[in-house]
Structure 1
Amino acid sequence: MSRQTGTIIDKTFHSEALQEEVPLLIYLPPAFSPLYKYSLLIAADGKDYFQMGRIGRVADRLLEEDKIENTIIVGVPYRNSEDRWDKYDPDGEKFEAYKRFLARELLPYLEEEYPTYHMGMSRALIGDSLGATVSLMTALDYPHTFGKAALHSPLVNERVMEAVEQFSYPHLMHIYHVIGNKETAVETTRQDVIDFLTPNRELNLLMESQGFPSFFEEIDGGEHTWKSWQADMERTLLWLFGK
């Protein structure tokens, strides 16, 4: 018997904060019905999570096995590498606007369109690398809006560490955090070579000392690629929305 698959809908959303049309990929679970309530996962690097991360296929299987809550997954793709830096980098020109877009524009739109639980712990943000950075920073800015964040190899700098250190509500924020143990010399799209591993270890220690409910693991043999993150997708979804 073939597995039921969810539906992925392409939409476009006009953002006043960003002053642009933002493409969306919206995954609705198999047998989606407006009669039920759904948890919500919003993914930076949205197209990558669906294509390379295969997050929809993983969700299909876990839903069929009744291992995760009914969940709608919304991917927000980036246009190109410069657009990604502008929106996801803490020093990017559109970084503040992108966080506002997620919390004050996209979320209200999604909750008007779809039957979701209007609770922080039923809403999560996810991203890889810079996408993980902006997901974490958005969650820290809006802790009563987003109760969970999943971080695949975030870029961690002083601004990130300061935001975590100064965060007043660590008990409200559940963090899933993985980093590959080979991520010591990662070449970025700007041709910089960055040690991701050491700052991520420091971030984990800071989160532990601050009292964040969190999960952290160094992926053995893990590199800064989708091969590592895709292999981790099942555990990520189980941690975020497992039954």
Structure 2
Amino acid sequence: MRLAGRTAIVTGGASGFGEGIVRKFADEDASVVVMDRDGSRAEAVAASIGGSAAWIKADVTEASGFAGAVDLALSRFGGLHILINNAGVGHTPTPLEDVDAETFDRVMAVNTRSIYLGARAVVPLFKRQKGGAILNIASTGGVSPRPNLTWYNASKGWAITATQGMAVELAPFGIRVNAINPVAGETPLLKTFMGEDTPEVRAKFLSTIPLGRFSTPEDMGSAAAFLCSDEASMITGVALNVDGGRCI
């Protein structure tokens, strides 16, 4: 019950790593707002958890989406203490000069603009209450880039730098900001990163992970719960590799 009495917003909370974080936070006695563009899936995840979860269909690239999620957290649960910027998109392995502008803009909007919009929505509240935690889901790609994923890697490197800058600026207000860097995991994005899902491609990916397996939503949920709990009260500005050793 490390998160008892806390309320969190989890973007992209209806599937993949986001759903793993939502379920772990609920297990740790937090109240959770599942924010996702897939409203039906968000509703199903919240319903499966029960009264400690609410849902909202929202786009993380729009300020109105975050405003609605904050309003829902305050009206339903009476407060807000944690923001998890989990929503993200990638692009299939492509030479950097062949990625079209529309794909580039979408990657940057979802992976970087969303962090900016989330901060604008919650930081004033967190400053007033003199505390809060923000967790950005970055990637091992932001630390040890894979070829042909350059613009995705760049967006996650941005997320790591933003985390560090936010941590320094917000520390005097009692607000902690951290990130986690997942390695490729069993989520809907896995096929995107691999280009195709075949035993041969999976074997190639797994050969780069010393622990010999993909990450799971449960792995991310456990890391997120720790970093957002009082057990991590002296940790801010960290980008924690949850990667089975890939970045060693």
**TM-score, with structure 1 as normaliser:** 0.46
Give the structure with the higher percent helix.
Answer: 2
Where relative contact order (Cα < 8 A, 6+ residues apart) is larger, the structure is 2
Whose strand fraction is larger, Structure 1's or Structure 2's? Answer: 1
